[in-house]
Chains A and B, each alone.
Chain A
Amino acid sequence: MSIGQAILEALESLNANRVRSALTILGIVIGVAAVIAMLAVGQGAQDTITGSISGIGSNLLFVFSGNFQEEVRNVEPLTLSDADAINDVFQAPHVQAVAPVINRDLEITYSGESTRAEVNGVTPIFSDVRNYTVSEGEFINQDHQLGRASVALIGVEVADKLFDRREGIAGETIRIEGQPFRVIGVLAEKGGSSFGSQDNVVLVPYSTAETRLIRRSRDQVDVIYVQATSAESVQLAIDEISQILRSRHRIFLGPDDFTIFSQQDFVETARTITGVFTIFLGGVAGISLLVGGIGIMNIMLVSVTERTREIGLRKALGARKMDILIQFLTESSLLSLFGGLIGIGLGWLLSFTVGLIAAANDTPINPAIGLNAVLLATMFSTAVGLFFGIYPANRAANLEPVEALRHE
């Protein structure tokens, strides 16, 4: 009997028991929908996280004081002179730019409105290193820096809260911890990142922050942002910075008393987290597929028992074992294939809904359903049907025609 004929007959038989077929494939539908939705949302979340990490800047390194992995005694803080040393083109040829930053969460007020934002003391190079642009006004320049000018740039979130608008703010005066600062510009919107909002910030000249807002002893800095010359030189830059800081901090043996993260590290951490999540959800989906497969096996066994006489008749008319085997395997594979196809649709719907909900909550995730996910789901569900159909089909194929014909 040809495969086309077998498929046609299987369709007829499934169609005759529509409700039962539909209930049987429910497990497969849910399993496949879960796989599809999980892959899509996982991919979307990963894209969003990776996107927001690369939005922080390009080829960026973060240098913190202290070692996050090993216990180090007498941690020497990072200072402005450390930053200057890293900026030395002869000692660190793969470093493009260095931006030392001090920051603190402070209260910002404007004519009765008040909010809290992260106030960063930054140098003019900060805009290049961290990829900040201004939507109005100008960035902090060398004159502001040298003159310890009381000027500030504000993020759009701060602008929204204090002014209820995003334009025409330059020239206004806000108060940071009670001290007046003239707003010289508004930062262009950057969107959320995994490190909290990049728009709820206020930037002031480093010298002003150091002397008037965030007092730190001995030129201490909180973080040094370093931009490597290119993506390929990130590792070289890390090695150079590490060498400079070790010699400056007089560490000849033992672990570093500072930590250098690259953007890649953050991306990898994010990948690990979403990866663990994906594996966990994949396990759940796998169990659902397994249960669905057992459901199919169960129904196929019932079907074989119900149709024993039919099988006997087919054998009497000349059906070989293989014919009966193919007939039942076709049925179970088609059953789970339909489950898979419906599941793909449902999964798409599900991930689309998740995307909408995420967008409504200001965390844009674009669920991405790849062709490979669809192919994987289709093939996997068919394979489940095939695998769990083997036992019932084999049982049918091995029935003795005499016994089967006599069966009531």
Chain B
Amino acid sequence: MSEWVIEARDITKVYQMGEVEVHALCGVDLKVKCGEVLAIMGPSGSGKSTMMNILGCLDRPTSGTYLLDGHDVSNLSSDELAAIRNHKVGFVFQSFMLLPRQSALGNVELPMRYAGLAKERTQKAKDALKAVGLEDRIHHKPAELSGGQQQRVAIARALVNNPAIIMADEPTGNLDSQSGKEIMELLLQLNQQNGTTVILITHDPAIGEQAQRIVHLRDGRVEEQE
């Protein structure tokens, strides 16, 4: 196993917007160590969403190579990418993205359904919810939970398949400062305990400061790393 969980070389992404070609990423190199907490920062339009989509295997780069956990994923079919996302990537979104009709448990079980797990599903989901401190809320629907609790469910869902990386896209963006602080503490704590690599996508410097390393993007290029 290499020490790099992410090795992206010379990644470019070009969108075709009608007649115009938009260069969202122009040759980005990025390496992330196993167990690292990395923040990708930049103003809107800097390409950080595109970066997240490619790192999270939601999208393919136009050119360049991307090794995730040692596998080259730059040229996989969409179903192969789906399987990679299922096993290697956990997503935490700004707007939680929980299924409103499912209980917390049902939401956490969802990735395992697509993984084809049947037997240990419920137990694993309960363990994940326990890890985020929601063991007494497992049968609540998202509407019956506070914003912070909903985001905890989302983190449990991201954790449950034991991914190589967790992609957190503005995880505190929809939360008040207190809940936001708790969510950041939870993410850092999970990183400490399990050694899961966490990649934070944010424009908030206060969040970025908590990462071990910050990558600044501007106009589709890596501007500086600190």
Contact = CB atoms under 8 A, between A and B. Distances in A.
Task: Judge: A and B partners, yes or no.
Answer: yes
A1 B113 contact: yes
B101 A13 contact: yes
Contacts of B93: 313, 405
A3 interface: no
Nearest to B85: A318
A400 B53 CA distance: 11
A401 to B, nearest CB: 5
B97 A320 contact: no
A135 B90 CA distance: 90
A88 interface: no
A1, A317, A400 — most chain B CB neighbours (10 Å): A317
Contact of B110 (A16, A314, A400): A314
B91 A316 contact: yes
Contact of B118 (A2, A309, A318): A2
A1 B118 CA distance: 9
Interface in B73-93: 78-79, 82-83, 85-87, 91, 93
Interface in B155-195: 157, 161
Contact of B101 (A5, A16, A314, A315): A16
A396 to B, nearest CB: 14
B99 A318 contact: no
A273 interface: no
B208 to A, nearest CB: 23
Interface in A1-22: 1-2, 5, 12-13, 16
A313 B110 CA distance: 10
Contact of B86 (A16, A313, A318): A318
B143 interface: no
Given A13-B101, A315-B82, A320 B114 contact: yes
Nearest to B59: A402
Contact of B97 (A16, A309, A318, A402): A309
Contact of A318 (B53, B82, B101): B82
A236 interface: no
Contacts of A134: none
B114 A323 contact: yes
Nearest to A12: B101
B179 to A, nearest CB: 21
A406 to B, nearest CB: 8
A320 B53 contact: no
What class of interface size applies to chain B in its complex with A? 20 to 34
A116 interface: no
A316 B58 CA distance: 7
A402 B53 contact: yes
Nearest to A317: B111
A316 B81 CA distance: 9
Interface string B50-73: 000100101100000000000000
B14 interface: no
A318 B87 contact: yes
Given A2-B118, A402-B59, A318 B111 contact: yes
Contact of B83 (A313, A316, A320, A401): A320
Contacts of B56: 316
B91 A318 contact: no
A321 interface: yes
B114 A321 contact: no
B114 A319 contact: yes
A322 B97 CA distance: 22
Interface in A180-238: none
Contacts of B86: 317-318
A120 to B, nearest CB: 76
8 contacts: A309-B97, A313-B97, A317-B111, A317-B114, A318-B86, A322-B79, A400-B59, A405-B93
Given A5-B113, A321-B78, 17 more contacts: A12-B101, A12-B102, A314-B114, A316-B58, A317-B111, A317-B114, A317-B157, A318-B85, A318-B111, A319-B82, A320-B82, A320-B114, A321-B79, A323-B114, A402-B53, A402-B59, A405-B58
